[in-house]
Amino acid sequence: MRYDQIIYFVKQGEDEYDYSTGNYVTTEPIKDEAWANVSDMGTQRQTLVFGALKQGALTIRIQNKHEQPFDYIEYGGTPYNVATTRTFRHDQAFEVSEQL
């Protein structure tokens, strides 16, 4: 199995108060890069996880484990919501679908 695709675990920026302007400013999102194996999710797996077929459903596998909190995964410039996570001994798998 090749881990040849780059994905990003994205933690959205938080609102911080700027004392000089008196406005709230959103900080930049934090992106953690990881190499992954990305594949389409099969039809049977989609109906099991989502209850129906979804456009843009993927299975993403990474080596080791990602333990920092994140809001979504970005792959190819597209944000994906995580439906399920499976953690194994030496890797981790995410079942994801496109954010709409």
What pLDDT, in 10s, does the model give residues 19-28? Answer: 998 899 999 9
Question: In Å, how far are 40, 41, 83 from 44, measured between CA atoms?
Answer: 12, 8, 15
Strand partners, 63: 91
Question: What does the pLDDT read at residue 75?
Answer: 96
8 token code pair:
């990003």
pLDDT at 77: 94
Average pLDDT over residues 59-79: 95
User: Which amino acid is it at 36?
Assistant: A
Instruction: Please answer whether residues 96 and 58 qualify as being in contact, where contact means their C-beta atoms are separated by less than 8 angstroms.
Output: yes
**DSSP alpha helices (H): ranges in 4-95?**
43-50
Compute CA distances 99 → 21, 25, 87, whole Å: 33, 24, 23
pTM of the entire predicted model: 0.84
CA distance 84 to 70: 14
DSSP-assigned beta bridge partners for residue 95: 59, 84
- Is a pLDDT exceeding 90 seen at residue 100? no
